[in-house]
Amino acid sequence: MLGLKLPTDPRWADLAGKSIEDILTDHAYCEQKATSTAISLIQNYPEYEDMVNQVSPLVKEEWGHFELVLQQLKKRNLKLGKQRKDHYVSALYTFMRNGGSRAESLAEKLLFSALIEARSCERFKLLSKNIEDEELRSFYKNLMVSEAGHYKLFLDLAYTIGGKDRTEKRWEEWLTYEADVMKQLELRGDRVH
């Protein structure tokens, strides 16, 4: 799915279904980070007008997702907990190539974002199919569709800005690396990744 090289262990969705408060908390912060990342793309690369125009509405959308997750917590009398260290994102971050041209470094950041969207989308799909709570199933189905759109947006922008051949090769490297990270991460039901 979405080019990912290692499907999520099917046991994950069961574990997640048993720790709703924790998974919703972790999910809320994923949306917060998606918002912050989108804002920093605009702050750091304002000369890429087309990118700015396409990413700007995404900021609002991701923050809207954060608010939707908060609503789901409130409805269930659950609390937003503290943010925890995100081992998945930290591991991906170490793979990020620094240096190169502006276009290369922007394309690299877009691939990083595309990858996180792809994995989130895959996991939301699992939740939409497996979680017991009917409302949460449809909640995750809607989010899955939305994150799939973001994945495509980031990947398309990376190709346009970074150039087809170079980006294709680098995307393949990212996918291989991400599968390796997934393999090594502990399977936990209280984390989206």
Q: How far is Cα 130 from Cα 44, in angstroms, rounded to an integer?
A: 39
Q: Are 7 and 122 in contact (CB under 8 A)?
A: yes
Smallest distance, Fe ion to C-beta of residue 34, A: 5
Query: In angstroms, what is the minimal distance from the CB of 148 to Fe ion?
Result: 9
Binding site for Fe ion (CB under 5 A): 31, 34, 62, 65, 117, 147, 150
Distance CA 41, CA 92 (A): 17
- Minimum CB separation of residue 117 from Fe ion in Å reads 5
- For 15, 18, 49, 80, 160, the CA distances from 126, given in Å and listed in that order, are 12, 14, 36, 22, 31
Instruction: Considering the complex, state which of residue 87 and residue 152 has its C-beta at the smaller distance from Fe ion.
Output: 152
The DSSP 8-state label assigned to residue 98 in this structure reads: P
Residue 147 CB, shortest distance to Fe ion, in Å, is 4
Residue (150 or 191) nearer to Fe ion, CB:
150
Residue closer to Fe ion by CB (options 31, 104) is: 31
Pick 59 or 166: Cβ nearer Fe ion: 59
Residue 97, SS3? coil
